[in-house]
Structure 1
Amino acid sequence: MAKNPPSKTKTSHKQSILSISFGTGKEKEYFIENLTMLLTSGMDILSAVETLKGEMKTSAMRRIMDELKEEIDSGSPIWQALDKTKILPAHVISLLRIGEETGRLPENLLAVGEQQQKEKSFRAKLRSAMMYPALVVVISVVVGIGISWFILPRLATVFAALDLKLPFITIALIALGNFLAEYGIYAVPVFIAFFVTVFYYIFVFPQTKFIGQRILFSLPAIRKLVLEVEIARFGYILGNLLEAGIPVTQALNSLRQATTVKFYEKFYAHLQTNVEEGNSFQKSFASYKTSARLIPLPVQQMITSGEQSGRLPKTLLKIGEIYDAKTEITIKNLSVILEPILLVIVWLGVVGIALAVILPIYSLLGGLNNQGSIDTAPPPPRQTEVIESAPPEEQLQVEDEPIEQEIPRQIEILPGAGGGVLLNVRREPSLESEVIRQVGAGQVYQADLFENGWYRILIPGFGKAWVNEEFVGVIDE
């Protein structure tokens, strides 16, 4: 049968890879599991592929089935046909190749199915360990953004109207709230896109994900979990490959391609090179500086003993079984450890927001108490100065704080420049003078002096300050 032209095959091959990377993962697992059962039951490969094609829901996977059937029908070995579809990793293809060449394809397919289940279990364990903290962090961020965006701007208006001296934490949160109220519709999507991009390049992108792995390895609890999962994978994959009769160097190469952790990929490449040179596992471990961090010394000793006794495949499978059980315990302990830490982090966030709201209110209550004590005290007698040189009937009484110009007794603060709800008041009637306080728009104060376009107002519980006439309104009495 004539084969497709190279250009068509190449295009179809690219489409297969693209389709696999976008959503056929579950169907791939379904294909492997059911192909194993069908071939074990005695069905021929072409009939099995045709049967499975009818079960595939995506056009991408059905197209791959057509390619697979065409390759097998043209005389290609099963392992080679599957290798061209790129739906199976290298170590699985190695198992199938050895199985087909030795007549043990059904048995090796069973081993492949078991490996797939183990890989699925390993990934599920890692996801479950990280799901809870990730969910708590995401919810905390969403709630924090919601409070800052919708609630804090309203609190800013209230606090401004109360004319309170705000603590730093309140000022910072109000500034964040005002920023989100004005630019949130642009800032929040940009922040999310930035976070997703950074996360992708640190933890997912193949060329840079070693950075994220290094970060995870620096966390003791996470490092322990990753180490146990990787050792379990090391034992199961290498043990199955060696038990199937694959040479140790080829098995190590398949193991290197199967791992997703850069540290272990480099380590497995070192083992492969040393074993190819004729060195034992013991010497290969000893020649790698950080081997004890990647493979604990007791495990190294077990591998060395298995190699010397000729029972290396069984030993590796036993190691995989032991560390598979350890991962279960570590995941449970990790959840117990992370839960109180996350609760403390959330508690700190709640306390911070609560303090930002409560401290100004506490300051207001303190000011009211002070003002009440001032109001209940009898007013001091007004000091007057008598000019004795004038006749008694023409004596003038001069206030100690004379009002130079007839002014309204009450003025209302207007919004500041740009419509701000807070307005600066100064120590002296000049723009060069020091800002000593901020007052809220809409507040009414007593004025006792007008000088050069500035009103001097009396702020209860604080004292006197100057405000420019451009930002006040006169209240007629």
Structure 2
Amino acid sequence: MPQFTYKARRRNGEVVTGVLDVPDRSAALAQIERLGLLPVMVDQPKGGVVVDKAPRKGASAPAAAGAAALLPPGLRDLFFRQRRPKLQEIATFTQQLANLLHSGMPLTVALNSMTHLESKGIPADVSRQLRQDVTEGRSLSDAMARQPVIFSDMYVNMVRAGEQSGALVDVLRRLAEHYHRFAEVQAKFVSALIYPAVVTFVGIGIIIFFMTFMLPKFKEIFEGIKVPLPRPTQILMQVGDLMVSPSFWVITGIVISALAVLFMRFKNSPGGRRALDSWKLRLPVFGQIFRLNLYAQFARVLATLLQNGVPVLTALKITEQVIPNQVLKEAIAQTREAVTDGKTLAQPLARSKVFPQLMIDLIKIGEETGDVPGALRNLADTYENELSLALRVMTNLIEPVMIIVMAVGVGLLLFSILSAMFEITNSIGRG
């Protein structure tokens, strides 16, 4: 009978190794779970052949893979590309897995149960593939690393740290809380932008409708009366003539498309991306919101990683990848290089001149007291509260501004029409 060597962990995190005489790998895993252990590695060293039945990195479900194989590569990428889950979806998935493991359920059984739970945005095939990889001897973090569309580097590294420390359930719960918080911040951003977006869309629609459908009818009336029109009305008529011309829309579409292409090229270039990110941070009202959001992200991600045992250099590298701003990315990279040279975290952050003094001071205090994750959590809470306040202020400021802009636009249209009507009335009275 084949022999399988294994490495597993007890519930208290203690590492256990041993050898089992069982027919196959599945039987070895079943026996390990019956012993109340969490399997980490199962191997067949003595002449056994281990067949990797798991699909390659990022592969989808077997049924989908079979269907995708029948399509050309271009169509296969278009129709079978896996969607990246939303923050709230990954938070729900993580919370459900943590609850199952906390109840005492073995990992493979918990992953099997996850295939039957409602995890919106996370296909059941993801849990099924994780279970297969774990059954074949991979750790949970390694199995998640094989699905990078679903699980980010931050997620995988935190799970790995949880496995190594024997606190996987606690780590998963912290991850769930982390993604819940970021989902809330994202929702606040979206809700703050809904009102101005709707007002802008409606305003543009009203102006286009007036210029293309209503204005030509007024033009027929004015031309029939043969009265000299005021200058504002003449300009409005000329603009209306342009907007009803098909060539105007063709040229406008070409110009907008060309500008969009040039902008995307500029944005995707290293210098252009950095220039745009730097400009965002200097905007009058929106710049403060961008800065608060980035500071909160930096503090929250780094605190979560350090709290769960991820080494500081690895945590800084992951945080650098997560932050969506090139200016802050460069500052974090410089900080990582300085920390490698033995310096503290606060000193290189201060030298970058990107992060606020409050953050520098609290991190320095955290280093002196030996609680950098706690200091970063306090910073994240502070900046998230300030961000909520800034979003409310921005929303309250945008509403009257949008109303004024719409009133001015509609007022100009009415003034142009009414001034012509007054001119016609006066002309008739003089006649």
* TM-score, normalised by the number of residues in structure 2: 0.75
Cα deviation, residue 143, structure 1: 1.4
Structure 1 position 77 matched with structure 2 position 126:
no
Structure 1 position 354 matched with structure 2 position 414:
yes
Equivalence map 1:446-457=2 (5 Å): none
Cα deviation, residue 59, structure 1: 9.9
Query: What is residue 404 of structure 1 aligned with on the other side?
Result: none
Q: How many residues align?
A: 364
Greater strand share, 1 or 2? Answer: 1
Query: What is residue 357 of structure 2 aligned with on the other side?
Result: 297
The answer as to whether partners of 1:202 and 1:212 remain within 8 angstroms in 2 is no
Matched AA of 1:3: D
Task: Output one character per residue of 1:104-141: Cα deviation in whole Å (capped at 9) or x when no partner.
Answer: 10011111011111111121122222222222212211
Q: 1:252 aligns with which of 308, 316, 321?
A: 316
SS, match of residue 138 in structure 1 = helix
Matched AA of 2:52: K
The answer as to whether partners of 2:95 and 2:176 remain within 8 angstroms in 1 is yes
- Higher mean C-alpha displacement, 71-80 vs 34-43: 34-43
Structure 1 position 345 matched with structure 2 position 427:
no
Task: Output one character per residue of 1:214-252: Cα deviation in whole Å (capped at 9) or x when no partner.
Answer: 453332221111222222222222112112122111111
Equivalence map 1:42-441=2 (5 Å): 42-55=104-117, 61-86=123-148, 87-183=150-246, 187=250, 190=253, 194=257, 201=264, 213-288=277-352, 290-291=353-354, 295-371=355-431
Task: Output one character per residue of 1:32-63: Cα deviation in whole Å (capped at 9) or x when no partner.
Answer: 22112212222222222222222358898233
Q: Distance in 1 between matches of 2:364 and 2:89?
A: 39
The answer as to whether partners of 1:202 and 1:210 remain within 8 angstroms in 2 is no
Query: What is residue 3 of structure 1 aligned with on the other side?
Result: 52
Percent identical residues? 19
The answer as to whether partners of 1:152 and 1:174 remain within 8 angstroms in 2 is yes
The answer as to whether partners of 2:87 and 2:179 remain within 8 angstroms in 1 is no
Aligned CA distance change for structure 1 residues 235 and 192 (closer, same or farther; 3 Å): same
The answer as to whether partners of 2:212 and 2:243 remain within 8 angstroms in 1 is yes
Specify the structure having the higher radius of gyration (Cα).
1
Task: Output one character per residue of 1:246-305: Cα deviation in whole Å (capped at 9) or x when no partner.
Answer: 2111111111112222222222112111111212223202432x32xxx21122111112
Aligned CA distance change for structure 1 residues 66 and 184 (closer, same or farther; 3 Å): farther
Cα deviation, residue 26, structure 1: 5.4
- Higher mean C-alpha displacement, 23-32 vs 339-348: 23-32
* TM-score, normalised by the number of residues in structure 1: 0.68
Task: Output one character per residue of 1:337-394: Cα deviation in whole Å (capped at 9) or x when no partner.
Answer: 22221121111111111112111112112222332xxxxxxxxxxxxxxxxxxxxxxx
Task: Output one character per residue of 1:310-362: Cα deviation in whole Å (capped at 9) or x when no partner.
Answer: 12111111111112221221111111222221121111111111112111112
Q: Distance in 2 between matches of 1:65 and 1:324?
A: 33
Greater helix share, 1 or 2? Answer: 2
Query: What is residue 389 of structure 1 aligned with on the other side?
Result: none
Unaligned runs of 5+ residues in structure 1 are 372-477
Aligned CA distance change for structure 1 residues 147 and 195 (closer, same or farther; 3 Å): farther
The answer as to whether partners of 2:59 and 2:147 remain within 8 angstroms in 1 is no
The answer as to whether partners of 1:299 and 1:319 remain within 8 angstroms in 2 is yes
Matched AA of 1:343: I
Q: Distance in 2 between matches of 1:49 and 1:187?
A: 55
Matched AA of 1:140: G
The answer as to whether partners of 2:236 and 2:416 remain within 8 angstroms in 1 is yes
Aligned CA distance change for structure 1 residues 99 and 195 (closer, same or farther; 3 Å): farther
Q: Distance in 2 between matches of 1:30 and 1:203?
A: 37
Q: Distance in 2 between matches of 1:198 and 1:149?
A: 28
Q: Distance in 1 between matches of 2:295 and 2:304?
A: 14
SS, match of residue 59 in structure 2 = helix
Cα deviation, residue 64, structure 1: 2.6
Matched AA of 2:402: L
SS, match of residue 19 in structure 1 = coil
Q: Distance in 2 between matches of 1:102 and 1:79?
A: 13
Matched AA of 1:63: D
SS, match of residue 117 in structure 2 = coil
- Higher mean C-alpha displacement, 12-21 vs 24-33: 12-21
Query: What is residue 444 of structure 1 aligned with on the other side?
Result: none
Aligned CA distance change for structure 1 residues 10 and 243 (closer, same or farther; 3 Å): closer
Q: Distance in 1 between matches of 2:400 and 2:339?
A: 46
The answer as to whether partners of 1:24 and 1:61 remain within 8 angstroms in 2 is no
Aligned CA distance change for structure 1 residues 18 and 283 (closer, same or farther; 3 Å): same
Q: Distance in 2 between matches of 1:43 and 1:196?
A: 56
The answer as to whether partners of 1:89 and 1:258 remain within 8 angstroms in 2 is no
